[in-house]
A and B are shown apart, each in its own frame.
Chain A
Amino acid sequence: AQTVTQSQPEMSVQEAETVTLSCTYDTSESNYYLFWYKQPPSRQMILVIRQEAYKQQNATENRFSVNFQKAAKSFSLKISDSQLGDTAMYFCAFMFYGGATNKLIFGTGTLLAVQP
């Protein structure tokens, strides 16, 4: 069974600085996708970034980028130039590609606080 582990329950960063959130996963599948979702205090789940496992190039979306290490089964999220609006719970998620469901397997989340 696939599992996703986020070992940092809480993190704090100063505004304008860079922070990295960690995520590791365990799977025997070779075709899968990885995601980072953001959940602000409004509770809305917002997709931040996604990575296809077959791509070696790390995904980037503006100030958000990932460090995808397939052999190590690691998928960290780097937030550059942190902003107050980045304060949220961040979830790492895994999805097996090609199955009969789009089931997302989530980690337990990292609560990020951006300090002014």
Chain B
Amino acid sequence: NAGVTQTPKFQVLKTGQSMTLQCAQDMNHEYMSWYRQDPGMGLRLIHYSVGAGITDQGEVPNGYNVSRSTTEDFPLRLLSAAPSQTSVYFCASSYSWGAAETQYFGPGTRLLVL
């Protein structure tokens, strides 16, 4: 198993550009989520999904869009990048939701918006 994979590892964008951060897992996990990590603030939940076709907003969803067409993939789209979206983005997955399933994190994508 590759676990949770994320691409790209690092990306530089200009303000206003759009891009998609990819996340995939091969563990047949129902629950997937996106967090962003900013200095001095820990990780904060952006969006999450409890299964294919079902997504919902987390704590900081503005400026981001998600969809979940398959169990394996959960891409995060930046619609119009802003410098405030400079951060490290983590994708996480767990077997199910509503219980304390261990969440497995991807290696992160570092995004710099100029």
A residues sitting closer than 8 Å to B (CB atoms) are 4, 33, 42-47, 50, 52, 91, 95, 97-104, 106-109
Contact = CB atoms under 8 A, between A and B. Distances in A.
A102 B58 contact: no
B31 interface: yes
Interface of B: 31, 33, 35, 40-45, 48, 50, 56, 58-59, 88, 90, 92, 94, 97-103, 105, 107-108
Given A100-B50, A102-B33, A102-B98, 19 more contacts: A33-B100, A42-B107, A43-B107, A45-B43, A47-B102, A50-B100, A99-B98, A101-B48, A102-B101, A103-B45, A103-B58, A103-B59, A104-B43, A104-B92, A104-B103, A107-B42, A108-B40, A108-B42, A109-B42
Given A47-B103, A95-B100, A97-B100, A102 B48 contact: yes
A75 to B, nearest CB: 14
